[in-house]
Amino acid sequence: MTTDTRERQAIRRSSNVPAYNQLAEILEQQIAALTDEERTRALPSEGDLSRQYGLSRITVRQALKTLEAKGLVYSAQGRGSFPTMPRVKGISGFHSFTSEVRRNGQEPSTRILATTEVDGLPKSVTEKLSVTEDENSPQVHLRRLRLIDGVPIAVEDAWLPKALFPDLAPADFNDGSLYALLADRWGLEPAWTDALIEPDRASPEVSKLLNIETDDPVLVAWRVTVTAEDKVFERVRSIYRPGFSLRVARYRLG
């Protein structure tokens, strides 16, 4: 008496989530659970998936394209579609700090150092991140200390445009992931980031916060994050302590 313990997940046609996104999510979960050995084998063919889930081939291809854009699979004509190999581990400075660190099995924490409202961006920011649009528009400025397992990792200055987040109050920053809050309340999510990364020496102020020596080598990242519709989500300057590695995974070339 053998029963297939893998209950095949079905596509809910009545859902407002598109079928190809549902399929992409199912496949993403399955792929994430694969071992290195299993990753060398092809995924089910487009025809198989089409039959199994009752979708047209165009919808199946759309799901695979989604995963390909994320760098999770690749397709080879005549052979099939295959999972890709993960190449680096570590914490990315670009995604949500909270969830990234947690996924890594470590405990993130954040200490808010200051929250103010300002009428424009500092010159240092506009110089690094060629700002043309909302240079002089009101911003919420947020200074945070990021810690992993209690160890200070980075000093972060973030500027969020008030135009995009009406009624954003300093009190909102107190707990949890800022990204999660912004997604909940304004339905906005970061989709792309542009960054400049450079080496520097720790200033006396920063070295005290990070508990390192003045003039220790630090990594400075300037970045601007935009939504899928290319609206500026936030601008951030992060200063990372020595010994910390910034992960840039699955960066598309060409």
Partner DNA sequence: GTTGACAGGTTGTTATGACATGCTAATGTC
Partner DNA sequence: GACATTAGCATGTCATAACAACCTGTCAAC
Contact flag: residue 71 with DNA (CB under 7 A): no
Question: Contacting DNA (CB under 7 A), which of 43, 160, 168, 232?
Answer: 43
Q: Which is nearer to DNA, 52 or 115 (CB)?
A: 52
Contact flag: residue 54 with DNA (CB under 7 A): yes
Contact flag: residue 61 with DNA (CB under 7 A): yes
Task: Give the C-alpha separation, 56 to 19, whole Å.
Answer: 10
From the list 154, 119, 110, the residue with the least C-alpha distance to 140 is 119
Question: Contacting a copy of itself (CB under 8 A), which of 87, 105, 119, 150?
Answer: 87
Query: Which contacts (CB < 8 Å, 24+ apart) does range 41-50 have?
Result: 41/82, 42/79, 42/80, 42/81, 42/82, 43/73, 43/80, 43/81, 43/82, 43/83, 45/80, 45/81, 46/81, 49/23
Tell me, residue by residue from 10 to 49, as one string, x for binding to a copy of itself by CB under 8 A and - for no binding.
--------------------------x-------------
- Beta carbons within 8 Å of 77's beta carbon, 6+ residues apart: none
End-to-end CA distance of the chain: 53
Q: Which is nearer to DNA, 63 or 219 (CB)?
A: 63
Question: Quick one: CA dihedral 234, 105, 248, 30, positive or negative?
Answer: negative
Contact flag: residue 127 with a copy of itself (CB under 8 A): no
Question: Contacting a copy of itself (CB under 8 A), which of 1, 33, 171, 253?
Answer: 253
Contact flag: residue 78 with DNA (CB under 7 A): yes
Task: Give the C-alpha separation, 144 to 142, whole Å.
Answer: 6
Task: Give the C-alpha separation, 80 to 47, whole Å.
Answer: 11
Contact flag: residue 3 with DNA (CB under 7 A): no
Summarize as ranges the residues that interact with a copy of itself (CB under 8 A).
Answer: 36, 65, 69-71, 74, 76, 82, 84-90, 94-95, 128-130, 132-133, 189-201, 217-219, 223-226, 228-230, 240, 242-254
Summarize as ranges the residues that interact with DNA (CB under 7 A).
Answer: 16, 18-21, 42-43, 45-48, 54-59, 61-62, 75-81
